[in-house]
Amino acid sequence: MQKNNNRSILTYGIYPLLLVILFSCTQQKQAEPITMAYSDFVAELDGLRTKGCSAQDIVEMRKKHGRFFNLWMYEVMDFGRFGPISDTARAQYLQYWLMQNQPVFGVVKAHYTRNTDWKPALEQAWANLQTAMPNTPNAKIYSYLSQFSNYNTFVDTTIDPKTGKTSVILAFSEEMFLNDTFPAYALLEMPPFFNRYNGSDQIASQLVWNYLKMHHEPRHMRTTMLDEMVFQGKLWYSVLQLFPKRNPWELLGYEKAEWEWMMREEGQIWKHYLDKQLLFSTKFNDYKRYFAFGNKTFGGGVPEDCPPLIGNFIGLRIAQAYAEKNKAGLLQLWQPTKSNVFLQASTYNPIK
* pLDDT of the residue at 28: 56
| Domain range enclosing 173 | 37-216
Domain count, the chain: 2
Q: Are residues 102 and 208 in the same domain?
A: yes
* pLDDT of the residue at 8: 27
Q: Are residues 230 and 195 in the same domain?
A: no
Q: Are 62 and 70 in contact (CB under 8 A)?
A: yes
* pLDDT of the residue at 252: 96
**Residue 72 to residue 317: CA distance in whole angstroms:** 37
Give the domain-ending residue among 216, 241, 270: 216
Q: Are residues 146 and 232 in the same domain?
A: no
Q: Are residues 138 and 259 in the same domain?
A: no
- Per the domain annotation, does 1 fall within a domain? no
SS (H, E, C) 245-264: CCCHHHHCCCCHHHHHHHHH
Give the domain-ending residue among 216, 234, 267: 216
* Dihedral angle computed from the Cα positions of residues 134, 236, 152 and 84, in that order, rounded to the nearest 10 degrees: 60
* pLDDT of the residue at 193: 87
* pLDDT of the residue at 300: 86
* pLDDT of the residue at 149: 81
- Per the domain annotation, does 254 fall within a domain? yes
User: What are the per-10-residue average pLDDT scores of the chain (352 residues)?
Assistant: 27 34 52 93 95 95 95 90 88 93 92 95 97 96 90 92 91 93 77 89 97 96 97 98 96 96 96 96 96 92 93 98 97 97 97 80
Q: Are residues 130 and 197 in the same domain?
A: yes
- Per the domain annotation, does 113 fall within a domain? yes
**Residue 53 to residue 46: CA distance in whole angstroms:** 10
Q: Are residues 187 and 63 in the same domain?
A: yes
**Residue 342 to residue 334: CA distance in whole angstroms:** 10
- Per the domain annotation, does 202 fall within a domain? yes
Q: Are residues 200 and 230 in the same domain?
A: no
- Per the domain annotation, does 4 fall within a domain? no
Give the domain-ending residue among 216, 248, 268: 216
Q: Are residues 56 and 150 in the same domain?
A: yes
- The Cβ-side half-sphere exposure at 351, using a 13 Å CA radius, reads 9
**Residue 137 to residue 220: CA distance in whole angstroms:** 21
- Per the domain annotation, does 52 fall within a domain? yes
Q: Are residues 99 and 160 in the same domain?
A: yes
* pLDDT of the residue at 195: 87
Q: Are residues 210 and 224 in the same domain?
A: no
* pLDDT of the residue at 12: 28
Q: Are residues 296 and 335 in the same domain?
A: yes
Sheet holding 37-39, edge to edge: 37-39, 139-144, 166-173, 153-159
